[in-house]
Amino acid sequence: MKRNIRFITETAVMLALLIALQAITKPLGQLVTGSCVNAILTVTVLVAGLYSGITVAVISPVLAYLLGIAPQILTVPAIMAGNTVYVLLLHFLAGKDSKKIVRQFVAWLVAAIAKFASLYAIVVWLICGVFAEKLLASGTLKPPMLQALPATFSWPQLFTALMGGGIALLIVPALRKALRK
């Protein structure tokens, strides 16, 4: 029971922080907002655990869409997948003793690259490539979005994952100490 309460509380706090950061940083653009999201994902999985991390990873794109940050509903499942890949790799590569800096550093780099690759594959290659004609014909995807999505879901995704994760790795030790984890 105590563990469930802690999970709910930690997850709710991280989601609330994520919503606040997304709303506050929206005018500052993708690099700032995306970095904040990745920082929250990193802190959540390394401090609160895998299930909290996955929960935040899946819910955050829905919140981004509702706040007008995610460019199109079509990208929400792709962002969910990219975030989940990021969180899973951080968790499993950092290992049970994720206090070791070298393991966290390697996990962060691999997770950032994998998130970038998964978002690129889903959005740029599949949505804007393989399925573009069908999506345009059905009206699901408009020509301006077809032009904008590749720029949004390519290199900026790698930069935001690296920046956000890097910032988070600097604050995780202090948070763990404060929470006695």
Q: 31-82 pLDDT, tens per residue?
A: 999 999 999 999 999 999 999 999 999 999 998 888 787 777 889 999 999 9
pTM: 0.92
Give per-residue pLDDT as tens, 91-129. 999 876 656 788 889 999 999 999 999 999 999 999 999
CATH of the domain at 35: 1.10.1760.20
Containing structural domain, residue 25: 2-179
Rounded-to-integer distance, Cα 153 and Cα 55, Å: 22
The predicted structure's pLDDT at residue 4? 86
CB 47 within 8 A of CB 169: no
Model confidence at 179, pLDDT cuts 50, 70, 90, reads confident
How many structural domains are present in the chain?
1
Distance from C-alpha of 104 to C-alpha of 99, rounded to nearest angstrom? 7
